[in-house]
Amino acid sequence: MAETKDNFKNRVESVVSQIPLGKVMTYGQIAAICGSPRAARIVGGIAHWGDKSLPWQRVVKVDGALAEGFPGGVTGHRSVLEPENIHFIGDKVDMKRHRWSTKW
């Protein structure tokens, strides 16, 4: 089977599905792992159009801010992360403790 360009989206879904509970990743980080460090926006696009069965709630911005387009908004997004041991600083995730990487 020939690997099409779907590899990019396929990797994004793969990486996101590998995020352990209590951890979060940034769009840029995921995009970089997928092969395009500038495709952070595409990762978000896949989140909405791709496999929505993945823990996209653990995918946040580089600053720890939550996705503004997430169903329920940042408020709903935060409510989903709190029970997952995610620590919050104001309205953002504590990236100092939850920033995770697949290479770890």
Partner DNA sequence: AATTTGACAGCGA
Partner DNA sequence: GTCGCTGCCAAAT
Sites of contact with DNA (CB under 7 A): 5-6, 8-9, 26-29, 31, 35-36, 38-50, 52, 56, 59, 61-63, 67-71
Please say which residue, 22 or 28, places its beta carbon nearer to DNA: 28
**Which two structure tokens, joined as six digits, stand for 90?**
């104001």
Give the nearest distance from C-beta 85 to DNA in angstroms. 20
Q: What is the DSSP string of 22-80?
A: T-BEEHHHHHHHHT-TT-HHHHHHHHHHS-TTS-GGGEE-TTSBPPTTSTTHHHHHHHH
Bridge partners, 93 (sequence order)? 88
Give the nearest distance from C-beta 31 to DNA in angstroms. 7
Give the nearest distance from C-beta 22 to DNA in angstroms. 18
